[in-house]
Amino acid sequence: MKGEIRMSYFAQKKNRIIAIAEEKALEYSEMGYTVTDKNGDVICEATVTSVQDAKKKIEELNKELKEAKEYGENADAKIAQLKEENAELKEQLKNAKKSRGKTTATATADAE
């Protein structure tokens, strides 16, 4: 049937068991449910099983967030530095090509 949602997985947390769609397995795992298929094979373990686990996960996420913020704050300065360095290198390349052209022209004139 078109548009029908297949409830082929089961999510269990303590004594509560509910049928869920396959697409929701990871979401329920993150909410502390163990997800199994119809044969009872574990698809996803519960990622959070206690308040202590939840606090630990929150600490990890806050640390990642802090690192991402620091990276973002420093990104503008790094971009500006790289643009400046790129401009300098382009100028050096341009000058090298000019001096190479002059050297070739001088060598050709000397050979004649």
Residues 34 and 15: their CA atoms lie apart, in Å, by 11
Q: What pLDDT, on a 0 to 100 scale, did the predictor assign at position 51? A: 82
Q: What is the DSSP string of 1-58?
A: -TTPPP--EEEEETTEEEEE-GGGHHHHHHTT-EEEETT--EEE--S--SHHHHHHHH
pLDDT (tens place) for every residue of the chain, 112 residues total: 455 666 789 999 989 999 999 999 999 998 889 999 999 999 988 887 778 888 888 899 999 999 998 888 888 888 999 999 999 999 999 988 888 776 655 555 555 5
Tell me the two tokens of residue 96: 């090298």
What pLDDT was estimated at residue 66?
93
Q: Record the tokens describing residue 3, joined without a space.
A: 């548009």
Tokens of 51: 């308040």
The confidence score (pLDDT) of residue 111 equals 53
